[in-house]
């Protein structure tokens, strides 16, 4: 599955700089034929040291990382839902994204003008959040107008949807994101089908220069601190020099790593691997996926034709040095349709063609 994150924020918060840093690590498009690379879309490899260690043993012709897609949205401004600025027309680009990363300015620099005339991270967060809420209210109102007509025939499903939309509208009008609504599984699915923006998981990325602590107010969302300027400096160096520079600065994890780690945790994702002499590859699945579903990530037909999976944990594979040795030591197992995948599994799927 291709993970996609939409990047939003006010103008001059470091959003485009962050996007440029991320896309310096952009993968070759040829490895991901399902992606169209536009100027505001970058497909970046997911760093995973396990992949390199597995490949060092298998010595494949190709090594393919899992991919994450970032969509850069033009800077939003207050009143975007009423036609102010350019951002609102680009919101449709993130309706298909899995999560939203909201970049918030927490650095002070008199040479970079703040659109509101002052640096106030908490206020900026509320401005962007309200624009997303207003965009969702417009979506809900349009759908509600149609479904009210459908209820006149006594359609039970239409009546249920009308009640859900009215509940959602009231919630949004209270200034609350749709993701904070208490919903059952069917209601949640119905709202997701509407493409609401505020139902998506949110990551707040504070572009912080290391100054004072930032108060974003009460929030349940993920918050990560990144100095985007420093990240830009690191990304501009040759790859062999980046590790040394990060060591000098005391940076253990890059901004990209922080963002991807947060996204995987937020969305409940994990990784499994396939390996051989032709290719070693990382694949992204939803935590709790069973073996046939994992096979279906490689190709949809594989889930239908799944027979069994041969599985070895990546650390066991490294310890014994090959799948053959893993089989001899009983570390390579045969698993059936009910096997729940673990993060770090190396799999070979047997498929009925």
Q: What pLDDT is stored for residue 256 in this prediction?
A: 77
CA distances from 210 to 71, 292, 311, 325 (A): 26, 46, 45, 50
Q: pLDDT for 301-328, tens place per residue?
A: 999 999 999 999 999 999 999 988 999 9
CA separation for the pair 1, 32 (Å, rounded):
11
Confidence of residue 80 (pLDDT cuts 50, 70, 90): low
- Using a 10 angstrom Cβ sphere, with 0-12 exposed, 13-18 middle and 19 or more buried, the burial of residue 44 is buried
**CATH assignment, 288-351:** 3.10.20.30
Average pLDDT taken over every residue of the chain = 84
Q: pLDDT for 26-75, tens place per residue?
A: 554 444 333 334 557 888 888 899 999 999 999 999 999 998 888 887 66
Q: Which of 21-35, 281-295, 326-340 has the lowest mean pLDDT?
A: 21-35
Is a pLDDT exceeding 80 seen at residue 83? no
Contacting residues for 318 by C-beta, under 8 A, at least 6 apart: 53, 54, 57
Is a pLDDT exceeding 90 seen at residue 290? yes
CA separation for the pair 197, 155 (Å, rounded):
27
Q: Where are the domains positioned within the chain?
A: 288-351
Q: pLDDT for 180-209, tens place per residue?
A: 998 888 888 888 888 899 999 999 999 887
Phi, psi (rounded to 5 degrees) for 143: -70, -35
The three-class DSSP label of residue 206 is strand
CA separation for the pair 95, 135 (Å, rounded):
11
């Amino acid at each position: 599955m291709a993970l996609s994150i939409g990047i939003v924020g006010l103008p001059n918060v470091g959003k485009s700089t962050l996007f440029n840093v991320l896309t310096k690590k952009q993968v070759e498009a040829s490895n991901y034929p399902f992606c169209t690379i536009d100027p505001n879309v970058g497909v970046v490899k997911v760093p995973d040291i396990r992949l390199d260690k597995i490949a060092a043993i298998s010595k494949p012709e190709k090594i393919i990382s899992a991919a994450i897609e970032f969509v850069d949205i033009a800077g939003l401004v207050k009143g975007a839902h009423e036609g102010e600025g350019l951002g609102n027309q680009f919101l449709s680009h993130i309706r298909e994204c899995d999560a939203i990363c909201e970049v918030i300015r927490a650095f002070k620099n008199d040479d970079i003008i703040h659109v509101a005339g002052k640096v106030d991270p908490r206020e900026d967060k509320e401005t962007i959040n309200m624009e997303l809420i207003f965009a969702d209210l417009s979506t809900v109102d349009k759908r509600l107008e149609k479904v009210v007509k459908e209820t006149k025939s006594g359609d039970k499903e239409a009546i249920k949807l009308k009640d859900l939309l009215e509940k959602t509208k009231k919630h949004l009008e209270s200034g609350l994101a749709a993701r904070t609504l208490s919903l059952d599984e069917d209601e949640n699915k119905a709202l997701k089908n509407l493409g609401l923006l505020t139902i998506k998981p949110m990551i707040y990325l504070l572009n912080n220069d290391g100054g004072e602590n930032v108060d974003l107010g009460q929030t349940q969302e993920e918050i990560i601190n990144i100095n985007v300027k420093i990240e830009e400096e690191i990304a501009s160096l040759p790859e062999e020099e980046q590790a040394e520079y990060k060591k000098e600065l005391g940076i253990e994890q890059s901004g990209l790593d922080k963002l991807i780690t947060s996204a995987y945790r937020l969305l409940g994702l994990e990784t499994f691997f396939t390996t051989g002499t032709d290719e070693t590859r990382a694949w992204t699945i939803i935590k709790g996926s069973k073996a046939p579903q994992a096979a279906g990530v490689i190709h949809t037909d594989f889930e239908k034709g799944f027979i069994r999976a041969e599985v070895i944990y990546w650390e066991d594979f490294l310890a014994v040095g090959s799948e053959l040795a893993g089989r001899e030591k009983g570390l390579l197992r045969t698993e059936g349709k009910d096997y729940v995948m673990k993060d770090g599994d190396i799999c070979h799927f047997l498929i009925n063609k």
